[in-house]
Amino acid sequence: MSSATATAYPMPKPEGLEGVVAASTALSHVFGEEGRLVYRGYDIHELAGKASFEEVAHLLWLGHLPDGRELDELHRKLGANRDLPDAVFAVLRALPADTAPMDALRTGISALGAAHRDLFDDTPDLEEAIALAARVPAILAAFFRLRQGLDPVPPRPDLNTAQSYLYQLFGTEPEPRHWQPLEVYLVLLADHGMNASTFTARVIASTASDLCSALTGAVGALKGPLHGGAPSKVLDMLNEIGSAENVEAWLTHALDTGQRLMGFGHRVYKAEDPRAEILRGMAERASDPAFYALSKTTEERALALLEERKPGRRLYTNVEFYSAAVLAAVGLPGDMFTPTFAVSRSVGWSAHVLEQVANNRLIRPQSEFVGPTDLHFAPIESR
Ligand code: ACO
């Protein structure tokens, strides 16, 4: 093989694009050193537990909190957009029952884009964003029931997003002790700067593709455990640990064998994730006391061990750790945790898509070429 390579690329090449500014956005920002998250000027503490998910969606999509008339209008539109075309049900029915719900969601959004070309085959706009955000929980709920051999539950337009999602999942009137914490969770997860799935959505939108394609790609990016796929693994970890006396041995073994502790560390936060702090309080109030106590003990020991093993890396609890306890308390099984993250983030993704198309330039970076450039073809007999 030739040793000749392309001329050294003159620009910096941060691994994983760390620290690279890839877009301008007015939607949200993660202040990593301070452990702060801001949506359109509002610190997350201003919104969590005070604003409804629909108010936050309006804020992200339109740039301001809605007045009463605007909020009613948004509720009406979301409520009117939860029906799925027969083709989407058929595709979901065709999936094996053991399909991961994130895969079903990725497939369902893609099928929706194909089946509803009248709605989604245009330049993405606010009406499409609302239409898709309303259908994401409906797709998940339909698959959740179909895989159990149950019929999907027809949507009820009078319910808000958190209520409607639970109603379509379980077919019973959602209880405040379930839908209220879920709503706070949805508010907390709606947007988060230039994270991997949002970047994916913006890259796809920048090619002048459609909204369903952008969100299909975003779901694929969110699924990975280094991004949104961690909370069910947190639940698995806590279930495996089982009781307080096993915490030390379990964590030590995991770190000794080079595993990452799920729910800790973050690319941008070098302080505690503010969402983790809010979710910890919710978990304490909403979850089973024994499960909360085990979570707390595990968190404390994990933080101490990470500090010992990885000094100076500033690894703190991230959003995923207490998401597990909160979503379990809401009644969701572990494999629905990351899909529920997607219910919330579908608003942020579509808001970013709208922001991207409003001032679009194709996102097309360069790579540093490190391969040879002067090889000669040899016929197969002589290789
Ligand atoms: N457990 C053990 N060690 C860790 C962890 C962890 N959770 N996170 C980072 N480290 C270590 C790394 O091994 C590395 O050590 P080294 O310097 O000795 O090689 C050091 O800390 C720095 O880690 P990076 O890989 O540079 O951090 P990066 O910014 O790439 O990763 C990430 C961030 C992916 C979130 C990472 O912390 C991680 O894997 N966490 C566990 C998975 C998780 O919780 N995912 C959810 C993230 S939140 C979200 O996206 C919604």
Q: What is the mean pLDDT of residues 271-300?
A: 95
Please give the CATH superfamily to which domain 42-226+334-358 belongs: Citrate Synthase, domain 1 (1.10.580.10)
Active site residue 266: yes
Query: In angstroms, what is the span from residue 306 Cα to ligand 1's centroid?
Result: 11
Domains 42-226+334-358 and 231-329 share a fold: no
Band (pLDDT 50/70/90 cuts) for residue 8 is: low
Question: For strand 28-31 and strand 36-39, is the pairing parallel, antiparallel, or unpaired?
Answer: antiparallel
Pocket test for ligand 1, best of 313, 314, 345 (most atoms within 8 A of CB): 313
Which pLDDT belongs to residue 3?
44
Band (pLDDT 50/70/90 cuts) for residue 74 is: very high
Atom of ligand 1 nearest to the CA of 267: 29
- Residue with the smallest CA separation from ligand 1 atom 3 is 260
Which pLDDT belongs to residue 361?
96
Beta bridge partners of 29: 38
Stated pTM of the model = 0.93
Contact by Cβ (8 Å): 54, 160: yes
Ligand 1 binding pocket (C-beta < 6 A) is 16, 225-228, 230, 260-267, 306, 310, 313, 315, 318-320
Which pLDDT belongs to residue 2?
40
Tell me which of 102-111, 223-232, 308-317, 364-373 is least confident.
223-232
294: exposed, middle or buried (C-beta count within 10 Å: 0-12, 13-18, 19+)?
buried
225 pLDDT above the threshold of 90: no
263 pLDDT above the threshold of 70: yes
115 pLDDT above the threshold of 70: yes
Band (pLDDT 50/70/90 cuts) for residue 4 is: very low
Query: In angstroms, what is the span from residue 241 Cα to ligand 1's centroid?
Result: 21
Active site residue 320: yes
Residues 138-156: tens digit of each pLDDT = 999 999 999 999 999 999 9
Query: In angstroms, what is the span from residue 228 Cα to ligand 1's centroid?
Result: 13
- Residue with the smallest CA separation from ligand 1 atom 15 is 310
1 pLDDT above the threshold of 50: no
Query: In angstroms, what is the span from residue 280 Cα to ligand 1's centroid?
Result: 20
249 contact partners, CB below 8 Å, separation of at least 6: none
Neighbours of 310 (CB within 10 A): 13
Phi-psi bin for 57: left (phi > 0), alpha (psi -120 to 50), beta? alpha
178 contact partners, CB below 8 Å, separation of at least 6: 166, 330, 331
Which pLDDT belongs to residue 13?
74
Average per-residue pLDDT for the chain: 94
Domain boundaries, the chain: 42-226+334-358, 231-329
- Residue with the smallest CA separation from ligand 1 atom 28 is 267
Q: Which class would CATH give 231-329? A: mainly alpha
Which pLDDT belongs to residue 12?
61
220: exposed, middle or buried (C-beta count within 10 Å: 0-12, 13-18, 19+)?
middle
**Exposure b/e, 41-51, CB count within 10 A at least 16 = b:** ebebeebbeeb
Residues 314-365: tens digit of each pLDDT = 999 999 999 999 999 999 999 999 999 999 999 999 999 999 999 999 999 9
At residue 209, φ and ψ (nearest 5 deg) are: -80, 180
